[in-house]
């Protein structure tokens, strides 16, 4: 199934979401390991003291190993917490002792929320349904990451994670869409 130019955002979302859902679990794990190894080798990851990383939904690039490695290296790891009433996302410290719960849209988040100031985040690891070679990103359509990425300062690095089939030659982009600075894929 190829993704053709000229499709709407929703058509691209539908086609790639199907690929994400039907990818074999062993293949997802193997590719996630490769992506994790690539991320851990980046200068940006090595330098970051505070990072924000998503907790993967079913089918997405698995982030457990990168979170574990970041914490082992002494980094503060935050995860996004969605505020449905404000259509916003806040970075909250991921603390094993606090536990996790399902938040809005089925996203796992810390049960106890300890927020981190946006200016303190060095690196944001961003999920996406699709990315293009310019760093344009297609998310799930609610705009949470676009609004969040507009608020962080220019020195904060942003890296998207994807499987090879999620990388397209180009994506339809709107003025409110925010690019990531780099995409790591396998």
Give yes or no for a contact between 75 and 47, defined as CB atoms under 8 angstroms apart: no
Range of the domain at 92: 9-185
Residue of 4 and 34 predicted with greater confidence: 34
Report which of 119, 131, 140, 144 is spatially closest to residue 179, judged by C-alpha positions.
131
- What is the percentage of the chain residues whose pLDDT exceeds 90? 75
Give the residue-averaged pLDDT of 145-174.
94
For residue 96, the tally of other CB atoms under 10 A from its CB is 8
> Cα–Cα distance between 167 and 186 in angstroms, integer?
10
Which pLDDT value is given to residue 87? Answer: 76
The pLDDT assigned to 3 comes to 63
Give the pLDDT confidence score for residue 48 in this predicted structure: 98
Q: Is residue 3 part of a domain?
A: no
Q: Answer yes or no: is 160 within a domain.
A: yes
Q: How far apart are CA 136 and CA 178, in angstroms?
A: 7
> 1 pLDDT band (50/70/90 cuts)?
very low
pLDDT of residue 5: 60
Overall average pLDDT of the 79-92 stretch: 86
Q: What is the pLDDT of residue 18?
A: 95
Residue 4 clears pLDDT 80, i.e. is over it = no
Dihedral (Cα; 150, 46, 35, 161), 10-degree rounding: 0
Q: Is residue 164 part of a domain?
A: yes
| pLDDT at residue 61, rounded to an integer | 98
Give the rounded percent of residues in the chain with a pLDDT score beyond 70. Answer: 97
Structurally, the chain folds into a number of domains equal to 1
Q: Residue 112's pLDDT band (boundaries 50, 70, 90)?
A: confident
Q: Is residue 141 part of a domain?
A: yes
- Helix segments in the chain, DSSP class H: 9-22, 25-41, 43-47, 64-72, 144-151
Quick check: is 139 in a domain? yes
Provide the b/e sequence for 105-132 (b: ≥16 CB within 10 Å).
Answer: eebebbeeeeebeeeebbbbbbbbbbbb
**CATH code of the domain covering residue 97:** 3.40.50.10420
Higher local confidence (pLDDT), 104 or 163 = 163
In a domain, 105, yes or no: yes
Give per-residue burial for 6-37: e unless 16+ CB within 10 Å, then b: eeebeebbebbeeebeeeeeeebeebbeebbe
Residues present in the chain in total: 186
Whether 4 is covered by a domain: the verdict is no
- Residues 16-74: pLDDT tens digits? 999 999 999 999 999 999 999 999 999 999 999 999 999 999 899 999 999 999 999 99
Specify if 35 maps to a domain: yes
């Amino acid at each position: 199934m190829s993704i053709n130019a000229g499709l709407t955002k929703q058509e691209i979302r539908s086609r790639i979401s199907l690929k994400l859902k039907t990818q074999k679990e062993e293949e997802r794990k193997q590719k996630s390991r490769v992506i994790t190894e690539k991320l851990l080798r980046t200068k940006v990851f090595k330098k970051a003291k505070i990072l924000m990383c998503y907790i993967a939904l079913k089918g997405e690039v698995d982030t457990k190993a990168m979170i574990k490695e970041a914490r082992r290296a002494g980094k503060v790891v935050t995860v996004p917490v969605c505020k449905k009433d404000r259509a916003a996302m806040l970075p909250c410290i991921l603390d094993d002792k606090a536990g996790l719960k399902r938040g809005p849209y089925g996203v796992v988040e810390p049960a106890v929320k300890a927020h981190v100031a946006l200016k303190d985040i060095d690196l944001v690891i961003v999920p996406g349904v699709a990315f293009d070679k310019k760093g344009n990103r297609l998310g799930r359509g609610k705009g949470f990451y676009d609004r969040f990425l507009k608020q962080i300062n220019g020195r904060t690095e942003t890296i998207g994670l994807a499987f090879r089939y999620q990388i397209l030659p180009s994506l339809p982009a709107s003025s409110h869409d925010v690019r990531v600075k780099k995409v790591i894929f396998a």
